[in-house]
Structure 1
Amino acid sequence: MKQILIVEDHAIVRLGIIRLLQDLLPMPVAIEEAATGAEALDRIASHPFDMVLLDLSLPGRNGLDLLKQLRRLHPKLPVLVLSMYPEEHYAVRALRGGAAGYLNKGSAAEELQAAAEKVLGGGRYITPSQADLLAEALVEEPQDAPLHRQLSDRECQFVSLLAAGRSTNEIANELSLSVKTISTVRSRVLEKLHLRSNAELIGYWVTQHPEE
């Protein structure tokens, strides 16, 4: 029986994922849950898992930071990232950080099944579009790279949420940060992108990611 840990802070989402995996996977699975990064680390330290299904938006810390920590502490434990963020923003970051695969939460159930089977079987699940993104990242010269490639994981999260219409307070709550910290993140982003206002920032992000 395969052992799976779902790291997701929304109980309803966890329940939906559990039901999908139990219904779709051809092998029997035992599934445990964690709502925070700290809880996930505790469970992994005391229990052998065959796969971690990881959300990137967790209270108190960045899911990509947790991914990197898991790769250091448990290098043989495969992590499949399941996130609300489009793959154009985070797939390359997650795969470079050691993820065995990256899925958007809007993906079809069949894609989750295929990805989980692949990762549980010891493989990596990379879609054709993600392969293109990885290839582009490998061959792109630094001087030709878009300015937003300079942004940290946290800064990308901030801009994604801002472009989605979230207020500063809402972003602070979602990322489990103070409003002051969010203001600091905003200042760094504007400086890196050579922009002056939220309107310019949103306009830049939408131009770079028209599919959203």
Structure 2
Amino acid sequence: MSSILLVDDHAVVRNGLKQMLIEHLGSVVLGEANDAIEAMQQVRKQDWGLVVLDIRLPGRSGVDVLKQIKSEKPHLPVLILSSYPESQYAVRLIQAGAAGYISKDSEETEIIKAVKTAAAGGRYINEIVGGLLANTMSRSFSNADDLSLYESLSDREYQIFLELASGKRAKDIAEKLQVSAKTVATHRSRLMQKMGFSTNAELILYANKSGLLL
């Protein structure tokens, strides 16, 4: 393992990760990026052995960054390290090519294990994520109609769905995702139609019952 790029918008998180990785891995080249633009600049500038990526970034999200990395450098492993619970993003991002998904609340030993596994070319799937993947596969094999409603959403629709489900206003979502309020309204209309909802209250109730909220 020669080099790792850490992508997180909080310097304190990056510093903590650097200290942890140096302590456990010894000699390793570490790079940093605090948003999507810096991340892609670093990815294009150097051949990294691994990218450790947060989902919540200013501007374009880590979801977008993952897809762009896999498009430009498909063999570069990307490990997702996020504060979002596994139930919200793990399956979707692993299906998009992530080498693993691990919570920032995980024990230090598990984070190091995930880093080593991903850097070696493997996929790190813990018990929680494994269960989610198994449930998804089981539903897809049994009957397409049994798939969860949110699984039909595009990545952007899914992001907006989660933001709406957490009670955020369209204006706040637009500012967070750096898109127009009209774009948010368009995606909201599409996702509500796909999911068969007419009000935000129905959407929030569904998200709670599905275990998608913290």
TM, length-normalised to structure 2: 0.88
Is contact 1:57–1:175 with CA below 8 Å preserved after alignment?
A: no
After TM superposition, the structure 1 stretch with the greater mean CA deviation from structure 2, 110-119 or 160-169, is: 160-169
> Which residue pairs with 1:4 in the alignment?
4
8 Å CA contact 1:6, 1:31 repeated in 2:
yes
Distance 1:174 1:211, change over 3 A: closer
Moved more, 42-51 or 177-186: 177-186
Cα separation, partners in 2 of 1:84 and 1:154, compared to 1, 3 Å: farther
Give unmatched runs, 5+ long, in structure 1. none
Q: Distance in 2 between matches of 1:171 and 1:82?
A: 22
Contact 1:78–1:99, Cα closer than 8 Å, also in 2 = yes
1:142 to 141, 144, 149: 144
Runs of at least 4 residues of structure 1 off by over 3 A? none
Corresponding residue number in structure 2 for 1:154: 156
Deviates more, 1:144-153 or 1:10-19: 10-19
Asked whether the 8 Å contact 1:58–1:175 carries over to 2, the reply is no
CA shift, 1:95, in A, is 1.0
Task: Give the structure 1 partner of residue 81 of structure 2.
Answer: 82
2: CA distance, partners of 1:132 / 1:61 = 29
Q: Deviations over 1:13-69 (max 9, x none)?
A: 32232233233x233222111122232222122212110011122333232232122
Offset of residue 115 of structure 1: 0.7
> Contact 1:100 / 1:123 at 8 angstroms: preserved in 2?
yes
Question: Structure 2: which 5+ residue stretches go unaligned?
Answer: none
SS at match of 2:51: strand
Deviations 1:80-114 (A, max 9, x none): 01122221121111111111110122323222111
Q: Percent identity?
A: 41
**Count of paired positions:** 211
Distance 1:6 1:184 in 2: 33
Query: What do residues 106-160 of structure 1 show as CA deviations (whole Å, max 9, x unaligned)?
Result: 3232221111122223322111221222222223221111211111222222222
Partner of 1:126: 125
Mapping of 1:42-61 within 5 angstroms? 42-61=41-60
Contact 2:59–2:176, Cα closer than 8 Å, also in 1: no
Report what 2:17 is aligned to.
17
Asked if 1:171 is matched to 2:150, the reply is no
1:57 partner SS: coil
Cα distance change on mapping 1:10 and 1:167 into 2, 3 Å: farther
**TM-score, with length taken from structure 1:** 0.89
Q: Aligned Cα RMSD in Å?
A: 2.0
